[in-house]
Amino acid sequence: MKLRKTLLSFACAIMVALSFTACGDDWGRQDDSAGGQVYPSKTTVATYDFEYSEEKPEYSDMISHDESCEVTNDETLASNVLHINGKGGAKIANPFNGVKLQNGAAITFAVKIDAAVAEDGTVADVDLTRPLISFGSDEKDAAGNDISAHFYITANGQVVYSKPTQLQSLNLNENDPASVKTGILSPNEWHFVALQLSTEGYQLYVDGKKSLSGYQTSSSATSFQYKTLVDSINSLPYIYIGGDSKLTAEETNTVSIDNVTLIRNMMEEKDWNKTIGGNGGGDEAFKNVEFVKEDGTPTTEIGTSDCSAAWWTSFSDYYRIPAGATLHLKFENHTSGAGNWNNWNLCVATDDARNVGNYAEHFVMRSDLFGWGGAASTYNAANITNEGYGDWEQFKADMEGAKVNIQLQRKGDEIYMTAVATAKNGTVYKEMYHQTIGTDMVRAFLIADHSCLKLDADNCYLASPVYE
């Protein structure tokens, strides 16, 4: 049975958990002087569960853009949820305003994106650019033009920050579905989403799995700083469940959202490690990855635990990458420590078995900013760029146990490699390379060289192609 009430008529049916008493007298005060600091503690700033009763407080300034929202009862969750029609969302005064965010902030929520299903079982596409949770303002210039900043996250895991009056380089648009479809939120199923923000980047969790992330890459004044995201949610006057009318002016698919929780500082594992349903965020190991292997069992360890496997003797499976798709690989790197090159190695080649038929290497890339290509390859060492490299002795030490994320993104006839290695001490090494390879199917594989690569199978996946 559905319970339909306008947000304005019953003042939103929301529990607001503003726990001033939980922080005692220290709520919002300045940090103690050096030597007397208290480690930043997690605090729930507000929760919106859309249940209502006489005992629960009203939230009178929640309004619905274009009468787009209603509270309904969801049979799957057995609770009330906020149902948002084809555009707009619910506008609320931002509870993060005035709250001291010491080392970050987090937003968690449950979401279901509706999509039509044809008689043959085909599921219609959904709008991957539609904001699910957003922050913004109504700021205008003297001429009435919108100059307000906006920060939001979409169903593609797209993270956007934009302000019309500033340099484009100071804005952010990551995981844009125009470039890659992540597939992290399957339609017509409930998913649990948690977004952790810090001054160094963000981490997105879906259904208890680490799905997408962004990291600080430059201290340049003309590059985007992730601290901007934390500052924006701490200063923008409104939060929108869904998007405001400026962001979702056109009709699109409907969405249901529940249990929106705003968290001060850093989450604990219990906050993000939750599953409601669905298969988003990599519930299946090697999601969407097509292997070329007779028994079909994925290889999860390349090399030997003692790092004794010689060069070109131990390989991962072949991972096929069609035009327009993006392959993500995550693994733990172990090394003998003898040379800079005794770590991960990556090859992108034609769609053939090694040294058989028409096999040819587009390029082989090492972790230490070195690579090569085959005889007919367009390999160009000048296309290698990096961040964080410099001290090779330190690099060799840091790569033992480092967590490595490699992304291979195909755009047109180009392929773009980004490899980010995060050492146990927090040091980050970022290696980037791009090259023309055409639009035919290619294969990628990892190679050990007196190293051992332990794959995180739940976080290895092929994102859906934008085009074939």
pLDDT band at 222 (very low <50, low <70, confident <90, very high): low
Give the number of other CB atoms < 10 A from CB of residue 219.
7
- Are 419 and 440 contacting, i.e. CB atoms less than 8 angstroms apart? no
Asked whether residue 1 is domain-assigned, the answer is no
pLDDT of residue 141: 78
pLDDT for 55 equals: 52
The 10s digit of each residue's pLDDT in 144-161 is 787 788 899 999 999 999
Shared-domain flag, residues 240 and 91: yes
Asked whether residue 55 is domain-assigned, the answer is: yes
pLDDT > 70? residue 377: yes
Of 216, 238, 272, the residue at which a domain comes to its end is 272
Tell how strand 201-206 and strand 191-198 pair up: antiparallel
Is 70 exceeded by the pLDDT of residue 8? no
Range of the domain at 318: 290-463
User: 267 and 101 in contact (C-beta within 8 Å)?
Assistant: no
Does residue 315 share a domain with residue 268? no
Share above pLDDT 70 across residues of the chain, in percent, rounded to a whole number = 81
Question: What distance in Å separates the CA atoms of residue 167 and residue 176, rounded to the nearest whole number?
Answer: 19
Residue 165 contacts residue 252 (beta carbons within 8 Å): no
In 3D, which of 297, 429, 286 has the Cα closest to residue 367? Answer: 429
Residue 353: inside a domain: yes
Q: Which residue has the higher pLDDT, 162 or 392?
A: 392
Mean pLDDT of 393-406: 96
Q: Which of 245, 272, 299 is the last residue of a domain?
A: 272
Number of folded domains that form the chain: 2
Say if 280 falls within a structural domain: no
Same domain, 91 and 224: yes
* pLDDT at 166 (0 to 100): 77
Q: What CATH code is carried by the domain that includes residue 237?
A: 2.60.120.200
* 53, 11 contact by CB (below 8 A): no
Handedness of CA 307, 313, 318, 323 (dihedral sign): positive
Give the pLDDT confidence score for residue 384 in this predicted structure.
Answer: 98
- pLDDT surpasses 90 at 117: no
- As a whole number of angstroms, the distance between CA 468 and CA 461 comes to 17
Percentage of the residues of the chain whose pLDDT score is greater than 90: 45
Amino acid identity for residue 39 in this structure: Y
| Same domain? 335 vs 240 | no
- Based on the fold, state whether residues 114 and 236 are members of the same structural domain: yes
Q: For residue 300, which of 450, 448, 462, 424 has the smallest C-alpha distance? A: 448
445 and 319 Cβ atoms separated by less than 8 Å = yes
How would residue 139 be classed by pLDDT, with cut points 50, 70 and 90?
Answer: confident
The pLDDT of residue 310: 95
| Contact by Cβ (8 Å): 410, 323 | yes
Decide: residue 79, CB within 10 A, 0-12 exposed, 13-18 middle, 19+ buried: middle
The residue assigned the tokens 């304005």 is 8
Q: What is the pLDDT of residue 38?
A: 45
Residue 369 and residue 419 in contact, taking contact as beta carbons nearer than 8 Å: no
Task: At 414, list the tokens.
Answer: 């180009």
Q: Does position 111 have pLDDT exceeding 50, yes or no?
A: yes
CA distance 384 to 388: 13
Better-predicted residue by pLDDT, 312 or 186: 312
Q: Residue 90: beta bridge partners?
A: 64, 241
Rounded Cα distance between 43 and 271, Å, is 11
What values do phi and psi take at 368, rounded to 5? -105, 40
Q: What is the spatial distance between Cα 330 and Cα 404, in angstroms, rounded to a whole number?
A: 6
Which of 124, 385, 149 is closest to 244 using CA atoms?
149
- The mean-pLDDT minimum among 163-177, 274-288, 398-412 falls in 274-288
Q: Residue 302 forms beta bridges with which residues?
A: 453
Residue 248, pLDDT score:
53
pLDDT, tens digit (0-9, with 9 covering 90-100), for 326-354: 899 999 999 999 999 999 999 999 999 99
The model's pLDDT over 36-76, given as tens digits with 9 standing for 90+, comes to 444 567 899 998 888 765 555 444 456 665 567 888 888 88
- φ/ψ of 458, rounded to 5, equals -70, -15
Do 64 and 85 meet the contact criterion of CB atoms below 8 Å apart? no
Are both 52 and 191 inside the same structural domain? Answer: yes
Same domain, 371 and 337: yes
Q: Give the DSSP per-residue string, 88-140.
A: -EEEEE-TTTT---SS-EEEEEEEEE---B-TTSPBPP--TTSEEEEEE---B
**Does some domain include residue 285?**
no
> Among 272, 306, 328, which residue terminates a domain?
272
Rounded CA-CA distance 326/331 in Å is: 17
* Same domain? 240 vs 301: no
pTM of the model: 0.55
What is the C-alpha separation between 157 and 210, in angstroms, rounded? 12
Dump pLDDT digits (tens) for 230-257: 999 999 999 999 876 555 545 677 899 9
Q: Are residues 248 and 376 in the same domain?
A: no
Task: Tell me which residue of 362, 383, 390, 389 sits closest to 433, measured CA to CA.
Answer: 383
- 401 lies in some domain: yes
Asked whether the CA dihedral 393, 394, 400, 404 is positive or negative, the reply is negative
Average pLDDT, the chain: 81
**pLDDT, tens digit, 9 for 90 and up, residues 268-312:** 888 888 877 443 333 457 877 877 775 667 899 999 999 999 999
pLDDT in tens, 439-468: 999 999 999 999 999 998 878 888 754 333
Residue 401 pLDDT greater than 60, yes or no: yes
CA distance 411 to 179: 7
User: Quick one: 196 and 310 in the same domain?
Assistant: no
Does a structural domain hold residue 90? yes
**DSSP element (H, E) containing 8:** helix 7-10
Distance CA 2, CA 4 (A): 6
Classify residue 88: in a domain, yes or no.
yes
pLDDT value of residue 220? 53
**How many Å apart are CA 130 and CA 147, to the nearest integer?**
20
Domain holding 333: CATH number?
2.60.120
pLDDT at 296: 62
Question: Is residue 260 domain-shared with residue 298, that is, in the same domain?
Answer: no
* Domain match, 222 and 350 both: no
**What is each CA distance from 184 to 15, 256, 388, 427, 464, in whole angstroms?**
29, 16, 30, 28, 10
User: Is 422's pLDDT higher than 80?
Assistant: yes
Say how far apart CA 416 and CA 436 lie, in whole Å: 9
Q: Could you give the CA distance from residue 418 to residue 433 in angstroms, rounded to a whole number?
A: 7
In this predicted model, what pLDDT tens digit does every residue of 13-44 receive, in sequence order?
333 333 322 333 332 333 333 334 445 678 99
Helices vs strands, H then E, count in the chain: 4, 29
